[in-house]
Amino acid sequence: MAPPGSKYDARLQRIVRGLENADGLSLNYKVYLDKSVNAFAMPDGTVRVHSGLLDAMPDDQVLAVIGHEIGHVKLKHSYNQMRSQLLTNAAFQAAASAGGDIGALTSSQLGGLAYKAINARFSQQDELAADRYAVEFLRQRNKDPEAMTRSIQTLQAKYGSGGGFLSSHPSNPQRIDNLEKPSPENNSGKV
């Protein structure tokens, strides 16, 4: 953890000033000293930004990523993913116990691949929804909503397109396309 007053902590606290209570959440922000380009938020209000993300992006893009992570919490993605994983697990177990061809399929590598594909698909949709949430998060705070798109472009320029069928994240071009098309959420004024 970056110590209070360190360059990383000071920068993050400057970026999130006034966002201790955002969108009905009581939030606390800290920096993990870790070179990976990552951030996350948890339902208890914990928001953690890795130092690698701070090194990779300017302030407006870091704020966009934070908005994205807060979006996961507000949209209850962790809860919904856990619920769908439990339901998927139960469905595969029931099919396997039925025996025959279905049972053989679910116990094979193909069954595991299908399991991973189902859960990755849910996660990709969550990522796209959190991106849109971040745009509204920025807009409602009179910040540049295009910073979310630029943060994805920064990731793409530095680390490639990413994503794909079995990935938990959609490809960067897919994420940008998602942000460019109009949606009811983008016009609702609710964040």
- Residue-wise pLDDT for 153-190, tens only, equals 998 888 776 654 434 567 888 899 999 887 654 444 44
Position 118 scores a pLDDT of: 38
Q: Is the pLDDT of residue 115 over 50?
A: no
Percent of the chain whose pLDDT exceeds 90 = 49
Phi (first) and psi of residue 144, to 5 degrees: -70, 110
CA 78 – CA 99 distance, rounded (Å): 32
For the segment 31-68, what is each residue's pLDDT rounded down to a tens digit? 999 999 999 998 888 999 999 999 999 999 999 999 99
Which H or E run contains 32?
strand 28-32
Task: State the pLDDT confidence band at 110, using cuts at 50, 70 and 90.
Answer: very low
Q: Is the pTM of this model over 0.85?
A: no
Better pLDDT: 106 or 31: 31
Q: Which residues are catalytic?
A: 69
List the alpha helices (DSSP H) in 6-108.
Answer: 7-15, 51-56, 59-74, 77-97, 100-106
Which H or E run contains 162?
none
Q: Are 103 and 96 in contact (CB under 8 A)?
A: yes
